[in-house]
Amino acid sequence: MQREDLAALRQHWPLLLAAMAGWGLDGFDFTLLIFLIPHLGQVFNVTLPEMAFVLTATGLAKVVGTIAWGAASDKYGRKLPFIVAVIWFSCFCGLSGLAWGYVSFLIFRIFFGVGFGGEWSASAALLMETLPAPARPLASGIMMAGYEVGFLLAALVFRVVFPLVGWRWMFAIGVLPSMLAVFIASHVKESPVWLAGQHRQQVVEKLKITPAVLQGWAFMAFINFMLWSIFSLYPTFLITVRHLTPAGVFPYVATYSVASIIGKPLAGRMVQRFGERPTLLVYLLLTIPSTMLYVLDDSAIAMVVGAILMGLVANSIFGITPMYLSRRFPSARRGIGVGVGYSMTAFSVGAPYVIALVTPSWGLSGGMAAFIIGSAFVSMVIAAFNTERWIPENEVSA
């Protein structure tokens, strides 16, 4: 890494910290639920597909959030939507703990999903527009590593809080991320690229649908499907298939999370050295054998190694996505472009529900493995195409 890149990260540390923390706390509030699926299924007297549908509905609501918040960030700046989205998802996470039945819980999670989608769109655009281009790959990886920090914290809360005071207090803790809004308001500056556009009073053109844009959106759809297949039912898998207790679940989730925290910045570094496409293709190819150890081999060694590889390789691909997606859009339409790209989870959020449906026939292990490997292969095919010639120079340099 060049000294100039390191200096850029140091100079913009409040923004980098806010983006990482925002994504991490977003992940914390969301992943609280995935540890509670078996328990809440008993509390609400519903089946695994019905509880998996809560995840799917939350993800579909995220589609509304990513597009709406993305459009708002183009109009009002990146900073304000970032702040409001953090407050929004934190409050509805807390309200989830007050649910009196399955339907009320589902409604609260749907509203949570709207804010859940908005935080990423605004913060990713803000980060990519503020840092100089050479520092963006590593900054992208650092930001995305925040999600696993949140996942790890959720696992810790499940390990410590749930046995003592139950599931409602787990969601009550989810209100605390709203305090991040104070830090963002006081320490994070607005995007200089967005401000420059406002100063010039540029005419906002319609979003151009180029092959590069279509590739970015398609890649986001399948790579997110892979992600949801990897992590959304992983605690349920450890509890129901491997028969682990909440205390037993924590070491494996922690292993996966720590590997991801290390792996995402490392993936950004690999992009700096070897390029974006080669890094994506190698990581996706390595995901296939990693999946075998992750869910198909029940030995303790295989489970640990699988968790490490899945975090270090498969999940670390997401350390590249903010840069991969953001550079395909001009500044004036980057918020909505990134928002639509992230809303491709409308396709991917069906993963936990579909896996739950095939579980009676394939088993949870087989369902997870099939969809992880399948989506990794399709993502690899999409990433293989070179669309660089369809990205105008003035649209990627901002």
**What are the chain's domains?**
3-396 (1.20.1250.20)
197 pLDDT higher than 80: no
Model confidence band, residue 293 (pLDDT cutoffs 50, 70, 90): very high
Task: Answer yes or no: is pLDDT of 287 > 90.
Answer: yes
3-state DSSP of the chain: CCHHHHHHHHHCHHHHHHHHHHHHHHHHHHHHHHHHHHHHHHHCCCCHHHHHHHHHHHHHHHHHHHHHHHHHHHHHCCHHHHHHHHHHHHHHHHHHCCCCCHHHHHHHHHHHHHHHHHHHHHHHHHHHHHCCHHHHHHHHHHHHHHHHHHHHHHHHHHHHHHHHHCHHHHHHHCCHHHHHHHHHHHHCCCCHHHHHHHHHCCCCCCCCCCHHHHHHHHHHHHHHHHHHHHHCCHHHHHHHCCCCCHHHHHHHHHHHHHHHHHHHHHHHHHHHHHCHHHHHHHHHHHHHHHHHHHHHCCCHHHHHHHHHHHHHHHHHHHHCHHHHHHCCCCHHHHHHHHHHHHCCHHHHCHHHHHHHHHHHHHHHHHHHHHHHHHHHHHHHHHHHCCCHHHCCHHHHCC
> pLDDT by residue (tens digit) across 21-65?
888 888 888 888 889 999 999 999 999 889 988 988 887 887 777
Average pLDDT over residues 261-271: 90
Does 396 have pLDDT greater than 70?
no
Read off the pLDDT of each residue in 110-117 and give the average, rounded to a whole number. Answer: 83
Rounded average pLDDT over 152-172: 92
Is the pLDDT reported for residue 177 higher than 50? yes
> How much is the average pLDDT of 321-330?
80
Full-prediction pTM beyond 0.85?
A: no
122-131, 163-172, 247-256, 345-354 — which is least confidently predicted?
A: 345-354
Looking at every residue in the chain, the average pLDDT score rounds to: 85
pLDDT attached to residue 345: 61
Lowest mean pLDDT among 119-123, 266-270, 360-364: 119-123
